Amino acid sequence: MRQRWQDWVGLILGIWMFASPWILGYSGMAVAAGNAYILGIAVALFFAIALAQPHYWEEWVNLALAVWLFIAPFVLGFTGLGTAAWNHWILAVLIAGDAIWAMAQTPAMQDTAKSS
């Protein structure tokens, strides 16, 4: 299976998520920054794996990570930190859209046939 441009975009979004606490100035907010670091690494890792050998399951993982990114400001209590919360929400939508777009271009049956 060939590489998809969505995986490159997702990798960049993951790198941005990791770097955003420093760039946007919320690195001192432990909960928001910690979540950004962990999720940034996870998103970048799964999109990097998809670049090496794309599989359908990687997109589901990234979609799940995007859902967590969206609800994290509510669950972890940093909705009052506007920059951090909005960064999480915007990236969640972009990562989810990217994963869904990649899934739409990678039929599940094709992926399972390749891995057999």
The full set of domain ranges for the chain reads 5-115
Under a CB-based contact definition with an 8 Å cutoff, are residues 113 and 15 in contact? no
Q: Where does the pLDDT of residue 63 fall: very low under 50, low under 70, confident under 90, or very high at 90 and above?
A: confident
**Considering the chain, what is the average pLDDT of its residues?**
82
pLDDT tens, residue by residue, 15-47: 999 999 999 888 888 898 899 999 999 989 888
Percent of the chain with pLDDT over 70: 84
Cα 56 to Cα 22: distance, rounded to the nearest angstrom: 32
- Amino acid 2: pLDDT: 58
Q: How is residue 45 written in tokens?
A: 């890792």
Q: How is residue 42 written in tokens?
A: 């996870």
The stretch 2-21 carries a mean pLDDT of: 84
Is 0.75 topped by the overall pTM?
A: yes
